[in-house]
């Protein structure tokens, strides 16, 4: 058994308490039942109701649990079908970036026709916004159509509900910034898929001058299973060129991006295949910029890439780009996001729209 086949999560078995676990194909290894030696901090962490305490212990503890899976006793293994997957981390903070050049360009043109698609600062720093951590939910949670001001003074259910296909990075252990870019990977526990559901009519009314607010803060969905960053070592690639040259704190000695093939399925039909390799800003650059002012990164923080879109038709990461407002999500629609890097399948994100 190798780390490539395992993913972190939290499950309930038979109505029991939530507990850390690792998914291994169609079975689950309960971390509390593994042979982990006599470290009291680790023993407490694998019995906690979320992964935050384990994340806080750092990479040596994460690897100790993964290594113990190789000789897992039979009592540790249960069928995936007998488990209820929970939100794996208590989300302490949520930042959503705007890291795809193609998406930012497409969306700028849609929201601000006749004006420059990108702000002047876009090529100089990763731009993001703080989302509402308490509305991050686990995959398969229904998506309730939100109310909002769809026109100034007009409160109504959104008529332009959209999806956003993103990569997310679960962070920790805690550290006060600045985090050096070449050490950023030490603060990425693992990778998830994220759907940052968006009410486009609400967003259009409210986004200036301070950016996204109620048009996005109603719900964000993430994978139940977190892929260890080490499992994606084979998916690391050289990032796309950046022009103009970025500031020194955003220059890594050995820069890397992730080559993850994504797909968006709507009601059983794949409608787009966004390429994560096309992201302009890298995960390390996002963390370096997020903390350059001294901000604290906390175990359980979720940092997302923003919508990922490619340069050709059929690679758009949102319906706004794909269908230009001719079709939005309807009640009863089911959206599934999937991602694969070689043989590594990331945890899917699923959601059905309800009234």
List b or e across 143-162, with b for residues whose CB sees 16 or more CB atoms inside 10 angstroms: bebbebbbeeeeeebbebbb
Rounded Cα distance, 59 and 266, in Å? 37
d(CA 232, CA 347): 13
Catalytic residue among 38, 103, 123, 289: 103
Segments in the chain forming alpha helices (H): 40-45, 52-57, 59-68, 101-111, 200-206, 283-291, 319-323
Determine contact, residues 85/138, Cβ cutoff 8 Å.
yes
Q: Which of 255, 99, 124 is nearest to 181 (CA)?
A: 255
Buried/exposed 259-285: b ≥16 CB within 10 Å, e otherwise: bbbbbbbbeeeebbbbbbbbbbbbbbb
Q: Parallel, antiparallel, or unpaired for β 198-199 and 334-341? A: unpaired
Residues with Cβ < 8 Å from 326, sequence gap 6 or more?
none
Q: Could you give phi then psi for residue 289, rounded to 5 degrees?
A: -75, -40
CA triple 176-177-178, angle to 5 deg: 155
Do 99 and 126 touch, CB atoms closer than 8 A? Answer: yes
Strand partners, 277: none
Tell me whether residue 103 is one of the annotated catalytic residues. Answer: yes
Which residues are marked as active site?
103
């Amino acid at each position: 058994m190798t780390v490539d086949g395992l993913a972190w999560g939290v499950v309930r078995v038979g109505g029991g308490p939530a507990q850390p676990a690792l998914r291994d194909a169609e079975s689950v290894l309960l971390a509390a039942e593994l042979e982990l030696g006599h470290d009291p901090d680790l023993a407490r962490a694998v019995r906690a109701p979320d992964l935050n305490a384990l994340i806080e212990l750092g990479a040596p503890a994460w690897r100790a649990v993964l290594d113990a899976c190789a000789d897992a006793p039979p009592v540790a293994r249960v069928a995936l079908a007998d488990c209820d997957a929970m939100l794996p981390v208590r989300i302490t903070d949520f930042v959503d970036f705007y890291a795809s050049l193609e998406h930012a360009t497409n969306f700028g043109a849609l929201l601000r026709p006749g004006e420059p698609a990108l702000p002047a600062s876009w090529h100089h720093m990763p731009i993001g916004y703080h989302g509402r951590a308490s509305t991050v939910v686990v995959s398969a949670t229904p998506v309730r159509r939100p109310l909002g001001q769809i026109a100034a003074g007009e409160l109504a259910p959104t008529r332009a509900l959209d999806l956003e296909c993103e990569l997310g990075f679960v962070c920790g252990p805690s550290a006060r910034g600045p985090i050096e870019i070449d050490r950023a990977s030490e603060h990425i526990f693992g990778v998830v898929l994220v759907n940052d559901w968006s009410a486009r009519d609400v967003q259009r009314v409210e986004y200036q001058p301070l950016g996204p607010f109620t048009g996005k803060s109603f719900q964000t969905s993430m994978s139940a299973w977190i892929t260890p960053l080490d499992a994606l070592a084979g998916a690391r690639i050289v990032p796309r060129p950046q022009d103009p040259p970025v500031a020194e704190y955003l220059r890594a000695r050995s820069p890397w991006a992730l080559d993850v093939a994504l797909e968006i399925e709507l009601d059983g039909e794949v409608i787009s295949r966004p390429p994560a390799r096309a992201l302009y800003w890298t995960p390390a650059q996002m963390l370096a910029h997020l903390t350059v002012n001294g901000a604290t990164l906390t175990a359980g923080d979720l940092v997302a890439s923003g919508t990922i879109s490619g340069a050709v038709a059929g690679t758009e990461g949102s319906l706004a780009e794909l269908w230009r407002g001719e079709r939005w999500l309807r009640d009863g629609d089911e959206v599934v996001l999937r991602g694969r890097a070689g043989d590594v399948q990331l945890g899917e994100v699923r959601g059905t729209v309800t009234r």
